[in-house]
């Protein structure tokens, strides 16, 4: 997925930049860009976990809501989700 975001703030203590998007806040490693700067980011499929409820006890920094619209069996154990 590709998301249009903007830099909301920098967290120098934890070395993170917080981006704002229509999906919510997204934390990324500290970026040397000004607050308010537009950013386009890509979220790779291998970096996504699907859950039926809010995950707890994980080290995931970014937990975003979503809706599964389609599902189709893929090759082997894979499922195509849209």
In tens, the pLDDT along 4-41 reads 999 999 999 999 999 999 999 999 999 999 999 999 99
Percent of the chain with pLDDT over 90: 56
User: SS3 for 21?
Assistant: strand
Instruction: Please tell me the pTM assigned to this model.
Output: 0.82
Q: Which residues contact 60 (CB under 8 A, 6 or more apart)?
A: 49
Q: How large is the average pLDDT for residues 52-74? A: 88
Provide the pLDDT confidence category of residue 61 given band limits of 50, 70 and 90.
confident
Note every long-range contact of 9-15, with CB atoms under 8 Å and residues 24 or more positions apart, other chains counting: 9/35, 10/35
Q: For the chain, how big is the Rg over CA atoms in Å?
A: 15
């Amino acid at each position: 997925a590709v998301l249009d975001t903007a830099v909301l703030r920098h967290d120098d203590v934890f070395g993170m930049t917080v981006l704002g998007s229509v999906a919510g806040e997204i934390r990324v490693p500290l970026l040397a860009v000004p607050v308010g700067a537009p950013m386009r980011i890509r979220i790779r499929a291998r970096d996504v976990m699907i859950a039926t409820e809010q995950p707890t006890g994980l080290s995931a920094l970014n937990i975003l809501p979503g809706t599964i619209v389609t599902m189709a069996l893929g090759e082997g154990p894979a499922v195509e989700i849209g």
